Each structure stands twice: as structure tokens, then as C-alpha cells.
Amino acid sequence: MSVLAAIGEILVLIGTFFYFLSALGLIRMPDVYNRMQTSTKSATLGSLGVIVGTGIWAVGKGHSLAWIVQTIAVAGFLLLTNPISAHALIRAAYKRGIPLWHGSVVDKYAEHLAGKTEANKTSEEETPEAEGVSA
Amino acid sequence: MEEASPASKFAYTFIVLFVVWLFFTASLDPQELAMGAIMSLVVAALTYDVFTKAGLRNLHPKRVAYAIAYIPYFLWAMIMANLDVAYRVLHPARPIRPGIVKCKTVLNSDTGKLALANSITLTPGTITLDVDGDEYFIHWIWVPDEVLRAKEESEHVEHASEAITKPFEKFLRVIFE
């Protein structure tokens, strides 16, 4: 049983290491987009490690088997929802007009949005004309 | 892919809810099971219409097998992503060359697109910024040379899709289409 406890302890240690990397990434990265990159990934795997590690450790210490089942359920929900919140945050940041880092090399999304507003404009301009023709 | 019948959607929603209940209670006591079944029936009756479009077809054995095979593949990609993050954060020179690139996907279903977007967010160096139709806009922390040097739009999209969406599509196409 102590083998399980040892595995759990190692998993928690790995998880906290990734938490640390996530916090360090927040400090070191230059803009909001790169910060989201580092913090999302490391925080997700760090949480998985800590949560599942806790479950395994508890089973190794003689608690009921429900610990590991429930921690895996929580880890699964975390894995499904964390990237969505990251996506919502980064998209909101872009829509709010927060600029990319000056070292960024390519921005296809700006081109896409510009193309879209242009298409909207032309369609708006065309509608009255078309009405005029039909009248 | 046409929509499944209400009965099939209801059955699928009930099965998913009941499995989640089993995980949360982690007990096989008949009382717990009965209560879980009743609550799952109530919630499934209220929500089956928004929960799924394909219904019981999602439980086709081939799809389930691919979904199970996808889990270790995805976890491996996630671990690689975190080693990648560790390298970029701990390296003194901070080797990043970020940019927003455009990808195309072959997936049609909304659930498949959601799964692909989530997978992209958790894999090395990429995070999904927006999805519009079959186009993905992805913030990449290290845009590789062949994508950067691509003169034509189509070439750019092709190289980017090759690196980002292709590895997952071969699984997700079977699971969700």
C-alpha cells in the first residue's frame, strides 16, 4: 500500500512543479496571449497531477477507494473546462483590442476581421442600390 | 449527419448523466443507484434536446474504442506541451516567436470542433483564439519557418494545419462525425 502513497506523493510533487512553472510564465512572458499559453497548459497538468495524486495517496494511506474515483471525476471536469475558459479569456482580450507583443510575426486574425467588416460594408452599401433598382 | 430521434437522444443523455453520477458517488449501494437513476431521468428529460444531436450513435463501439485510444494520445501531447512550456519559461533567452495563424479543419459537427479546439489549447505552444466556420485562428508561441515564409495564403494554411490540426483529426473524425 505504501507504493501507492509514494506514487501519489510524486504526482503531487510534479503537479506543484508545473504550478510553479505556470506562475513563472506569468512573470516572464511579454503579453497577455503568451501568458495565457504558459499559464493554461501548466496549470491544467499541474491540477491533474495534484488532484489525481491526492486520490492515489489517500488510497495508499488506507482510505476508501472512492477517493480515487471521485478525484478522477474532478480531474476530468477540470480537463474539459479549463481550455474553454482560456479560450474565452484570450478571445475577449483580442476583441477588447489588447495589442500583440511587438515581436509577434504574423496576425491572420486581424486580416480576417478586416475582410469581414469590409464585406459587411459593401453589402450594406449595395442594399439601398438594389432597392432603388427594384423600385 | 441528420439528427437522431428524441428517444435516442434521451437515452444517450440519461446514460451519460448516470455514468457521471456513478463517478461522483463512487458507491454501488442500491439506494444510491435508484436515486441517481431518478435524478438522471429528470435532468435528461429537461436537457436532452440541447445536450446531444447524434444520440445513441455516439456509443457505437468503434467510436468508443477510438475515444479510449485518444485519451493516452492526448495525455502524451499534454505532457509534451508542458515540457515545451518548461523549456520556454526556464530558458534564459526566452525563445518565443508568437503569431496568430490560420488553420482549416475537415470536421463538421460542433462537438467535434469543440473537442479539437480544446485539444489545440492543451497541446504544445498553441491556443485557440477563435473558430469561424471551418477556420481556426490559433495563437502559436513559436511560428515555424515554413509557415512564416509561406507566400500564399493557401500554403500558409496548409503548413499550419499539417502541424496543428492534422494529428487530432484522424481520431476526432471517427469519434464525432
Closest residue in chain B to residue A77, using alpha carbons only = B20
Residue, of A116 and A83, whose pLDDT is higher = A83
Which residue among A73, A106, A110 sits closest to B143, beta carbon to beta carbon? Answer: A106
ipTM over 0.95: no
Note the pLDDT of residue B58.
Answer: 79
Confidence of residue A133 (pLDDT cuts 50, 70, 90): very low
Q: Contact B29/B63 with Cβ under 8 angstroms? A: no
What is the DSSP code (8-state) at residue A107? B
Q: Which three cell numbers stand for residue B71?
A: 485519451
The H-or-E segment that residue B135 falls in is: strand B135-140
Which residue among A22, A41, A90 sits closest to B129, beta carbon to beta carbon? Answer: A90
**Partners of residue A33 in chain B, C-beta under 8 Å:** 98, 127, 129, 139
What is the DSSP code (8-state) at residue B79? H
**Partners of residue A34 in chain B, C-beta under 8 Å:** 96, 98, 141
pTM equals: 0.83
Q: Which three cell numbers stand for residue B29?
A: 449501494
Note the pLDDT of residue B2.
Answer: 65
Q: Which three cell numbers stand for residue A115?
A: 475582410
What is the distance between the alpha carbons of residues A97 and A91, in angstroms, rounded to a whole number?
10
With a cut of 60, say whether residue A129 has pLDDT above it.
Answer: no
Average predicted confidence (pLDDT) for chain A: 83
Residue, of A57 and B95, whose pLDDT is higher = A57
What is the distance between the alpha carbons of residues A32 and A98, in angstroms, rounded to a whole number?
8
Q: Which of these, B41, B27, B23, B176, lies nearest to A70 by C-alpha position?
A: B23
Q: Contact B149/A124 with Cβ under 8 angstroms? A: no
B 24-63 near A (Cβ less than 8 A): 24-27
Note the pLDDT of residue A135.
Answer: 40
User: What tens-digit pLDDT sequence spans chain B (177 residues)?
Assistant: 567 788 888 898 999 999 999 998 888 889 989 999 999 999 999 998 888 777 788 788 888 898 888 889 888 888 888 888 888 888 887 778 888 888 888 888 888 888 888 888 888 878 888 888 888 888 888 877 777 777 677 777 777 777 777 778 888 888 877
Note the pLDDT of residue B1.
Answer: 55
User: Cell match 481550455: residue?
Assistant: A83
Q: Contact B120/A84 with Cβ under 8 angstroms? A: no
Q: How would you class B156 by CB atoms within 10 Å of its CB: exposed for 0-12, middle for 13-18, buried for 19 or more?
A: buried
What is the DSSP code (8-state) at residue B151? -
